[in-house]
Amino acid sequence: MKYCTCESCRFTFRYPILPPACIDCGEGPVRNATDEEIEDYHRKQKILQAKIMSSLYAGASA
């Protein structure tokens, strides 16, 4: 899997190949993510995971 970043919307995502267009906004160009962007991607994934977990718990207690 590659780490790709869209120049149009700055979205970073993992994909088997470097796609010609962004999977989020459908534009581009899409280039290889920098180390900094890859770090940021992992940070966001963790936050997302935490949000999913807390919403699951919130749902269970409601």
The site for Zn ion (CB under 5 A) is made up of 6, 8-9, 11, 22, 24-25
Amino acid making up residue 19? P
In the chain, alpha helices (H): 35-61
Closer CB to Zn ion, 18 or 50, in the complex? 18
Q: How far is the CB of 58 from Zn ion (least distance, A)?
A: 31
Half-sphere CA count of 51, side-chain side, radius 13 A: 6
Q: How far is the CB of 32 from Zn ion (least distance, A)?
A: 15
Q: How far is the CB of 27 from Zn ion (least distance, A)?
A: 5
Cβ–Cβ < 8 Å for 12, 37: yes
